[in-house]
Chains A and B, each alone.
Chain A
Amino acid sequence: MVVTAVIARLASWLDQRLGAARAAEAGAGKVFPEHWSFLLGEIAFYAFVVLVASGTFLAMFFDSSLVPITYEGSYAPLHGAEVTPAFASVLDISFDVPAGLLVRQVHHWAALVFVAAIVVHLLRIFFTGAFRRPREVNWLVGVTLLGLAILEGFAGYSLPDDLLSGTGLRVGYSITQSVPVVGDHLAFLVWGGEYPGTEIASRLFIGHVWILPAVMGALIAGHLLLVVRQKHTQFPGPRRTEDNVVGERLWPTYLAKSVGLLFLVTGVMVLLGTLFQVNPVWLYGPYDPAAVTTGAQPDWYMGWLEGALRLTPSVAFRGFGVEVPNVFLPGVLLPGLTFAGLYAYPFVEQWWTGAADREHHLLQRPRDHPHRTAFGVAVVTFYVSLFVGGSNDVLVAQTGWDIAVVINVMRAMVVVLPLVAWWVTRRLCRQLQADDVHAGQVERIRERVPDA
C-alpha cells in the first residue's frame, strides 16, 4: 500500500539521520504486564492530557483582573451587576463562547477524575507493595504529583472569583496566616497585601496555567522514564518471576489498547461535561467578602481538609509570646504530616519490618502483608471519616439532627473508625490467608487422588 511505503521511506530517512531504528525496535518490543489496576496511572496521565488541551482553550478567554466592571454579557439575571473581569470572563466562556461551557465543564470534570485517578493509583501502589526497592524514587515523584495536583485544582477552581471559590480563598488566606512565625508575612506576600487585595487572581492564574503544569509535566515525564528504566512490576503467576516481565509487547498490542484508553478517557470526560453540570458559578454569584454561603462544598479532593477544619476542637494555644491559631492544626499540620508520612512510608516500612533489602518486582497481594494492609486501610478510613465530616451541614440539613451532636459523633468516628478498620482488616487478611492455605491443601489432595 502507498501509505505503508511512504511510512517505510520516512522511517529509513529518519533512521539515517538519527540512528534511532534499533532503539525504537527495542522500545517497541518492550513488554507490559496486564492487570486492570495498572491502567489507573494511565488514566491519570490521560486526564492530564485532557486538562492541558481543554485548559489551553479556556486560557484564551479568561481574564484574571479583579478591578470591578459592569457585567454586560448574555446571562440576564446578573445584567448590570458590578463584577470582576475574572468572574465576567468565566460567564462569557459559559454563555457567549460557542462550545465554551462544554470545554469548561470537561475541564472541571477532568480535574476531578485526574486527582481521583492519582489517589486510586497511589492506593494500588501502596497495597501491592509496588513502592519497594527499587521504586522508592518513583513513589516520591508520584506523591509530589499528588500534592501538586491538589494545589493545581485548588488554584483552578479559585480563579472564577465567584462566591464559593472566594470563600475558599478566604479560608486559604487564614491557613497561610497560621503558618508558624512567618504566616502573616507569607500571606501578605502571596496575596500582595491584606486580604482580599487585587493581585491574587492573576497570581493564581500564572501558577495554574504555567508554573504548576510545567512542573507537573516534567515530573510526569520523569515518572514514566523511571517506569521504562525499571520496567513494570507484575503480580505473581505462571512463568512470572523476579527476573522477567510477562505480558504484551508495546507494538502493536499494548500501544493500540493504551491509545484506545486515551480516547476512551477523553470520551468519558466529554460525556460528563456534556451531561452533568459542574461548578455553575453564575448561580453562586460574584464574590463578596460579606456575603454568606451556606452548604458550600469544595471540590472532592479538598474534602478531607474541609472536614478537618470543621471537626478540630475549639482550641488555640496562646503563651510564651506566641499564638497557635486553631486552623494551624487542620490547615498546616495535618497536610504537612500527611505528605511527610507519604514521602517517608517506603523507608519507614523497610526499616520497621527489616525485610531483606533487595529488588522487588513481583507484587504482593494485600492479604499477604496484613500489617501494611491494615495500616493502609486505617489511614484511608481516617481520611474518609474527615471527608464525611466535611459534609456535616448537608447531613444536618437533610436529617434535622442536632449539629452539635453530629459534630461530636463525627469527631469520635475520626478516632474510632480507623482503629476498627485496622482490626477488621488484619483479621480479614489472616482469614483470607488461611483460606488460601486450605484451598492449596485441597488442590494438592485432588492432585494425589485424581478421582476425588
Chain B
Amino acid sequence: MAESGSGDGAAVRRVRRTVLVAFAGATLGGIGSVVAYALDLGQHWVGLGLAVAFLGVGGGLVAWGHGLMPGGGDVEERPPVGPPAADERAAGASLRDRGAMVGRRGLLGGALATALSATGLAALVPTLSLGPSPGDALRHTAWAGAGAQRLVTREGRAVAVDELQVGGLLTVFPRDHVGDADAQAVLIRLADDVTVRAPAEVSATAAGHVAYSKVCTHAGCPVGLYEAIEQQLFCPCHQSSFDVVEGARPLMGPAARPLPQLPLGVDDEGFLVATGDFSDAVGPGWWSRP
C-alpha cells in the first residue's frame, strides 16, 4: 500500500481511477435524485439516484481506504483491562476510608433504603392511572344484561330465521355493539339432520342454528373460517380448529378451550335473538379466570 499521490505505478493509478469514478457516480446520482424529486418523476428515480449517491460515496471511501491509505499491521500494546491486584486493594481502601468517615451507616443506611423505597413506590404509583382495573369486564360481553337481543350483521341488519343457508356462516353482534371485539359471534346453520352434542347446550340452539364466540380461545384472533362438510371452525392465526357439533371443542392446533356458546332463541317476528351472554368468558385465558 502506498500513500496517495506517491505515484508507485499502475496499481495506485487504478485505485485512484476507481475512487474518482465512484465519487463522480455519487455526484451524478445525487443530482439525479434531486432533479427527479423536483420534476416529480416518481419515487423510483428519487430512490435510485439516492442509492447510487450513497453507494458511490461508500464504495469510493472504502476503495480509497483500502487501496491508498496506510494498510494494516500496526501494533498497539494492550495493557490488561482490570487493575493489578495491589491497585484494586488500594483503590478500594481509599474509598472505604472515606466511607468510614460517614459513620454509623447501619441505622442511617437502613433508614435511607426505607425512605427511597417509599419514595420510589410513590413515584411509580401514578402509572396505575394508565388503565382501569379489569374488575369483571373480561367475564362478560355486550350480550349480557339487556334481556333477549337480536343478532345483527356487520351492516346492522337483524337476522331472520330462514335467512342463512344450511352450512352458512354469519358474523353477528348485539344491535348496539356492531363491530365489538368481545361480543362478536359466529352464527352457523346446521344441516337439518344434525343436532349438537355435549358439551354444547342443545337448549341454546334455535331453529337449527348454533352460535359461538368468534374470539379464538388461543390468542384471540377471529375464528372466521368454516368447513361446512366437516363442521369445523378454523382459526387462521395458528391453525386451531373447533368441532361445531360438539360445543366447539378444540380438535387441532394450540387452542385448549372450547369457544363459548351463545344461547339463541327466536323472537315473535321470527328474528334470531341471543337470550343471554356466552356460556363462559370469551377469548384467551388469564390466571384468575373464573
Interface residue ranges, A against B (CB under 8 Å):
29-31, 34, 98-99, 101-102, 106, 134, 167, 170-171, 173-175, 177-181, 183-185, 187-196, 199, 229-231, 239, 242-249, 252-257, 259-268, 270-271, 273-275, 288-296, 306, 309-316, 321-327, 330-331, 359, 361, 392-393, 403-404, 407
Q: Considering the chains assembled together, what is the distance between the CA atoms of A270 and B17 in angstroms?
A: 26
Q: How far is the CB of A252 from chain B (nearest CB, A)?
A: 5
Q: Is the CB of B62 within 8 A of A260?
A: yes
Q: Is the CB of B51 within 8 A of A263?
A: no
Q: Is the CB of A178 within 8 A of B284?
A: yes
Name the prevailing secondary structure of the B interface residues.
loop
Interface residue ranges, B against A (CB under 8 Å):
37, 40, 43-44, 46-48, 50-66, 69-82, 127-128, 130-134, 137-138, 154, 171, 173, 179-182, 184, 214, 218-222, 224-225, 236-240, 250, 252-257, 283-289
Q: Is the CB of A296 within 8 A of B40?
A: no
Q: Considering the chains assembled together, what is the distance between the CA atoms of A218 and B50 in angstroms?
A: 29
When C-beta atoms are compared, the residue in chain A nearest to B60 turns out to be A260
Q: Is the CB of B81 within 8 A of A252?
A: no
Q: How far is the CB of A78 from chain B (nearest CB, A)?
A: 17
With A261-B58, A262-B58 already in contact, the answer to whether A274 and B75 are too (CB < 8 A) is no
Q: Is the CB of B72 within 8 A of A267?
A: no
CB-CB under 8 A from A185, the residues of chain B are 133-134
With A99-B37, A178-B286, A327-B218 already in contact, the answer to whether A167 and B54 are too (CB < 8 A) is no
CB-CB under 8 A from B132, the residues of chain A are 188, 193
Q: Is the CB of B222 within 8 A of A359?
A: no
| Cross-interface CB contact of B236 among A34, A101, A261, A296, cutoff 8 Å | A296
With A289-B181, A289-B184 already in contact, the answer to whether A274 and B43 are too (CB < 8 A) is yes
Q: Considering the chains assembled together, what is the distance between the CA atoms of A170 and B214 in angstroms?
A: 13
Top 8 closest A-B pairs, CB basis?
A274-B47, A263-B58, A260-B61, A267-B54, A256-B65, A264-B58, A267-B55, A292-B224
Q: How far is the CB of A1 from chain B (nearest CB, A)?
A: 13
With A263-B55, A267-B54, A314-B256 already in contact, the answer to whether A274 and B44 are too (CB < 8 A) is yes
| Cross-interface CB contact of B50 among A180, A192, A193, A270, cutoff 8 Å | A270
Q: Is the CB of B62 within 8 A of A257?
A: yes
Q: How far is the CB of B80 from chain A (nearest CB, A)?
A: 6
Q: Is the CB of B256 within 8 A of A249?
A: no
Q: Is the CB of B70 within 8 A of A253?
A: yes
Q: Considering the chains assembled together, what is the distance between the CA atoms of A403 and B79 in angstroms?
A: 60
Q: Considering the chains assembled together, what is the distance between the CA atoms of A229 and B80 in angstroms?
A: 11
| Cross-interface CB contact of A309 among B61, B131, B134, B238, cutoff 8 Å | B238
Q: How far is the CB of A89 from chain B (nearest CB, A)?
A: 18
CB-CB under 8 A from A191, the residues of chain B are 131
Q: Is the CB of A102 within 8 A of B219?
A: no
Q: Considering the chains assembled together, what is the distance between the CA atoms of A306 and B52 in angstroms?
A: 37
- Which of A98, A174, A192, A196 has the most CB atoms of chain B within a 10 A radius of its CB? A174
When C-beta atoms are compared, the residue in chain A nearest to B29 turns out to be A267
Q: How far is the CB of B290 from chain A (nearest CB, A)?
A: 9
Q: Is the CB of B254 within 8 A of A310?
A: yes
| Cross-interface CB contact of A253 among B65, B81, B250, cutoff 8 Å | B65
| Cross-interface CB contact of A102 among B47, B180, B181, B221, cutoff 8 Å | B47
CB-CB under 8 A from B220, the residues of chain A are 170-171, 173-174, 195
When C-beta atoms are compared, the residue in chain B nearest to A94 turns out to be B43
Q: Is the CB of A170 within 8 A of B130?
A: no
> Can you add 7 more A-B contacts, CB < 8 Å, to A263-B61, A310-B239, A314-B254?
A180-B287, A188-B133, A256-B62, A263-B57, A274-B43, A290-B181, A403-B252
Q: Is the CB of A246 within 8 A of B74?
A: yes
When C-beta atoms are compared, the residue in chain A nearest to B224 turns out to be A292
Q: How far is the CB of B244 from chain A (nearest CB, A)?
A: 16
CB-CB under 8 A from B133, the residues of chain A are 185, 188
| Cross-interface CB contact of B43 among A99, A194, A256, cutoff 8 Å | A99
| Cross-interface CB contact of A266 among B44, B54, B222, cutoff 8 Å | B54
| Cross-interface CB contact of A31 among B75, B81, B240, B256, cutoff 8 Å | B75
| Cross-interface CB contact of B127 among A189, A199, A259, A270, cutoff 8 Å | A189
CB-CB under 8 A from B52, the residues of chain A are 267
CB-CB under 8 A from B285, the residues of chain A are 177-178, 316, 323-326
Q: Is the CB of A263 within 8 A of B54?
A: yes
| Cross-interface CB contact of A248 among B72, B78, B214, cutoff 8 Å | B72
Q: Is the CB of A253 within 8 A of B284?
A: no
Q: Is the CB of B44 within 8 A of A192?
A: no
CB-CB under 8 A from A188, the residues of chain B are 131-134, 137
With A194-B138, A243-B78 already in contact, the answer to whether A184 and B254 are too (CB < 8 A) is no
With A185-B133, A326-B255 already in contact, the answer to whether A246 and B222 are too (CB < 8 A) is no
| Cross-interface CB contact of B54 among A171, A177, A229, A264, cutoff 8 Å | A264
Q: Is the CB of A246 within 8 A of B75?
A: yes
